[in-house]
Structure 1
Amino acid sequence: MVKEQGRKLVAQNKKARHDYHIEDTYEAGMVLMGTEVKSLRAGRASLVDGFAEVHDGEVWLHGVHIPEYTQGTWTNHAARRKRKLLLNRHEIDKIESRVNERGLTLVPLSLYFKDGRAKVELGLAKGKKTWDKRHALAERQANREKEQEIGRRLKGIR
């Protein structure tokens, strides 16, 4: 059997980067059942309501929706069950201290396969205020207009 190489994106939480300031990111493995892996390989997952928490020295992922596998039998998994994440002890301790002391939260940013293994990218995040979101949108729009103007001038238009 040929071993899988590279990275295959399954799901991405684009809204998380809009709603939160991402301070740090971590890559974690996931403890999954067989039908969950088959469902993920079919490209079906949603990270919209997901979050992670540290409980008793372990990191758990809550609210991530991996739908039931269509060809699964009675051994199928629950779609929104909590899943254990695999991180180093040093990383878990670092995350736990930052979440407790600064009021940050762990948000899943993307779900992917890396060399055949399911991984989730977690972001240590702080919530944005409404004015922060508006400011970020205005800044992005201004940068886009600036780049367009530079492109026009290089082409000799206007």
Structure 2
Amino acid sequence: MKANPFSRSSAKKVNAGMNVVPYIDVMLVLLVIFMVTAPMLTTGVDINLPKAQTKAIEQGTQMPVIVSLDANGDLYLSYQDKTDEPMSQRELINTLTDLQKLPEYQAEDGKSNMNVMVNADQNNNYGDVMILMAKLQQAGIQKVGLLTAPPSANKSQKKQKQTDE
């Protein structure tokens, strides 16, 4: 007697395992999305800092305010949750004056304890940096630091140039 092709005994057994192929497809799509968007997430003003051996300043509980001056003379301000906001010199003075009034930048004696770091490109004119320092003084800033890059980066670049030649 021939077996009936429609009988249950000849049917394949049901695979109770999970099909992971759709999950792999989703993961690959997410990977591609992250690879495309990751370069766009880098923030910051392109500054070529001067190289110098300096002592690191002590970090307090508050984040310092960073004023960036790029090679074109454009000003940017980074503070709290704001990053690299372009500003004019007048806006910079007004913003810094207003920030000093916030409680997180007030010392116990009522004076401002705001730390401002100047992030200026090494190709800037000395006069441009001095004008920026004068503007900070006009805003009432007492504590100003200048950011530098460690000299080891400069030495490795020189070595790389020598090996390329």
Judge same fold: TM > 0.5, yes or no.
no
Q: TM-score range by the shorter chain?
A: under 0.3
| Structure with more helix by fraction | 2
Q: Which has the larger radius of gyration?
A: 2
| Structure with more strand by fraction | 1
Query: Higher RCO, 1 or 2 (CA under 8 Å, sep at least 6)?
Result: 1
Return the TM-score normalized by structure 1. Answer: 0.23
Return the TM-score normalized by structure 2. Answer: 0.22
